[in-house]
Structure 1
Amino acid sequence: MAASVAAVLNPELDVRGGTAMPLLGGGNLDMTMVQTALVHALTDRKQIL
């Protein structure tokens, strides 16, 4: 999961005009961390209010 989240949080990832979906899985998947990472990434890209 860490590699997928790191890719989404990377400011050099440019998905304008496209879609990026990280693959998240594993026994240690913490839904709070997933939410935090996704909200951070979407807010940084001004895709969430």
Structure 2
Amino acid sequence: MKKDNELEELEDKIDEFDKKIIGNFIVPIFVSAVVSLLVTLAFSHLM
């Protein structure tokens, strides 16, 4: 029984880790893409 508990805890940690990776990588990439798009639009208006 002890092994099962350790396995469940490990799975919980992996889930949290996955969420951290998603938060740390996908969100900044998305934000930088949006910012670069806005900058491009702003420059095309100025030209």
Query: Do the two structures share a fold, i.e. TM-score over 0.5?
Result: no
Q: Which has the higher contact order (CA 8 A, sep 6+)?
A: 1
Q: Which has the higher helix share?
A: 2
TM-score tier by shorter-chain length is: 0.3 to 0.5
Structure of larger gyration radius: 2
TM-score normalised by L of structure 1: 0.35
TM-score normalised by L of structure 2: 0.36
